[in-house]
Amino acid sequence: MSALLDAVFAPEEIRRIFSDEAHLQGMLDFEAALARAEARAGVIPPAAAVAIGRQCEARLFDLGALAGAAAKAGNTAIPMVRALTAQVAGVDAEAARYVHWGATSQDAMDTGLVLQLRRLIDRVETDLARLSAIFADLAERHRRTEMAGRTWLQQAAPVTFGLKAAGWLSAVERHRQRLAELKPRLLVVQFGGAVGTLAALGDWGLSVGALLAEELSLSWPDLPWHAQRDRVAELATVLGLMVGSLGKVARDLSLLNQTEIGEASEPAEPGRGGSSAMPQKRNPVGAAVVLAAAQRAPGLVSVMLSAMPQEHERGLGNWLAEWQTLPEICTLAGGALSQLVEVAGGLSVDAERMRQNLDQGNGQVFASAVAMALAAHLGARPAHELVEKAARRATEQRRHLLVVLAEDPAVTQHLDVAELDRLFDPAGAVGLAESLVDRALAARRPSDR
């Protein structure tokens, strides 16, 4: 409703895909293609198809009047068909007879929607490819940048920033795969007439359907799917999953961006992330937009899923429930992705600060490395308990874990000072981080590498 607020969540190009004009144009593209298909099948005169096609431009319509009529009609296709018919009749009375020939409102609305969704998916695929490249680059460049791995928001054991980025990358690749798999199911026409029997077109129904699909470069599915909503609901879920993964990156970034941690920060830009009360603030606006999307999408996805059990040949209420929900999910997803491309693409990574934070915790972050080294001598459980006690002592006494361990004969009888020292070296403590980065990079599509 508020374009002001919409602007925070998605760039103009994405919002435009789901504007009034685009919604109307989607339906008009269906009507134009239908007329062409029917002309090719010999169902309506070719001249009618040409005349109808010429009027199928959203800019020729009065959106305000359509909105008024939609409120009464209960959908936007009925007023569109009426207005289009009038429009065509103004130019060619004969052609007007063939507007929306043999179709029903849902045919226009669903197929129009699919056309909008295709644009959105194109944009998302482009941005996912960009994000994949960005994360691959971060993984590559920071393959040896050690930092604290953190679990339950506590320093746990060392990782590299490259491995973190590889994890993000790996999820992005899976989302690309999911989108590729869903496209054949989603990018199909909906065309069934009143109740999905194509009864209005006699024997021509199937060939008109196939030609209609060809006209729109969509597929012609086995059946009309007006009352089977899994195709559209699936897109909601796949985008919901994607937003969840984007949210994970944004969560990480926002936590790394905390004043007290300061390991990564969003690209600075005048006017970006300020505060009306605090002059020093550089708020991580990009992460916030992504996280907001990750907070909103799940509830919206649940609406799409709960609307699936639609009554008989066309639902009552539940079909309507999709109309704004799916565009909202698409816009949030597209917007979040777009933001993250910008944020990740210009990310400042502070490797020095990462190292400092790793050093700050009095060596506790190396406890598991020591425990594992001792396990070879004592067994896993006793080693764990020995180091657990030392770690607690170190905390209580605010001393470095290395120092405490070096004083403990139970430790030093197995590990000498040099060995202990080596265990507290971050470079050695990141395990197979680098090999894992390689694996993640190798798993990218050959064309992207």
The reply to whether 449 sits near a second copy by the rule CB under 8 A is no
Tokens of 279: 């002059």
Q: Which of 275, 306, 348, 435 is catalytic?
A: 275
Distance of CA 288 to CAs 1, 75, 237, 326, Å?
A: 21, 35, 22, 22
Measured from the CB atom, is 24 or 218 closer to a second copy?
24
Residues 6+ apart with CB under 8 A from 288: 250, 254
Among 63, 133, 351, 410, binds a second copy (CB under 8 A): 63
In the annotation, is 275 catalytic? yes
- Binding footprint of a second copy, residue count (CB under 8 A): 204
Among 67, 91, 417, 427, binds a second copy (CB under 8 A): 67
Rounded to the nearest angstrom, the gap between the alpha carbon of residue 406 and the centroid of all alpha carbons in its chain is 50
- Write the interaction track for a second copy spanning residues 87-116; mark x where CB under 8 A is met and - where it is not: ---------xxxxxxxxxx--x--------
Among 51, 325, 349, 420, binds a second copy (CB under 8 A): 325
Tokens of 382: 């006793």
Residues 6+ apart with CB under 8 A from 23: 76, 112, 116
Contact segment (CB under 8 A) with a second copy among 62-70, 129-137, 343-351, 406-414 equals 62-70
**Which residues in 194-223 contact a second copy (CB under 8 A)?**
194-201, 203, 205-206, 221-223
Contact segment (CB under 8 A) with a second copy among 34-42, 128-136, 296-304, 409-417 equals 296-304
Among 53, 162, 327, 334, binds a second copy (CB under 8 A): 327
Residue 28 has φ and ψ, to the nearest 5°, of -70, -35
Residues 6+ apart with CB under 8 A from 214: 37, 220
Contact 349, 138 (CB under 8 A): yes
The reply to whether 53 sits near a second copy by the rule CB under 8 A is no
The reply to whether 252 sits near a second copy by the rule CB under 8 A is yes
With residue 404 as reference, give the H or E element that holds it.
helix 401-406
With residue 148 as reference, give the H or E element that holds it.
strand 146-151
**Which residues in 141-180 contact a second copy (CB under 8 A)?**
148-159, 163-164, 166-168, 170-171, 174-175, 177-178
Q: What is the dihedral of CA 99, 103, 109, 115, to 10 degrees?
A: -80
Among 49, 114, 307, 354, binds a second copy (CB under 8 A): 307
The reply to whether 436 sits near a second copy by the rule CB under 8 A is yes
Q: Which of 144, 314, 393, 422 is catalytic?
A: 314
Distance of CA 299 to CAs 115, 223, 250, 324, 330, Å?
A: 25, 30, 19, 13, 13
Minimal distance, residue 380 CB to a second copy, in Å: 6
Residue 239 has φ and ψ, to the nearest 5°, of -70, -35
- Write the interaction track for a second copy spanning residues 16-45; mark x where CB under 8 A is met and - where it is not: --xxx--xx---------------------
Measured from the CB atom, is 81 or 131 closer to a second copy?
81
Measured from the CB atom, is 216 or 386 closer to a second copy?
386
Minimal distance, residue 126 CB to a second copy, in Å: 20
Contact 194, 104 (CB under 8 A): yes
What are 155's strand-pairing partners?
150
Among 40, 45, 140, 244, binds a second copy (CB under 8 A): 244
Tokens of 443: 């798993």
CA distance 279 to 276: 7
The reply to whether 427 sits near a second copy by the rule CB under 8 A is no
Contact segment (CB under 8 A) with a second copy among 49-57, 128-136, 246-254, 406-414 equals 246-254
- Residue 114: count of CB within 10 angstroms of its CB: 21
With residue 90 as reference, give the H or E element that holds it.
helix 77-91
Measured from the CB atom, is 53 or 327 closer to a second copy?
327
- Write the interaction track for a second copy spanning residues 331-360; mark x where CB under 8 A is met and - where it is not: x-------------------------x--x
Amino acid in the structure at residue 31:
E
Minimal distance, residue 122 CB to a second copy, in Å: 18
Task: For residue 262, give the nearest of 328, 170, 360 by alpha carbon.
Answer: 360
Among 92, 140, 214, 234, binds a second copy (CB under 8 A): 234
Catalytic residues: 275, 314
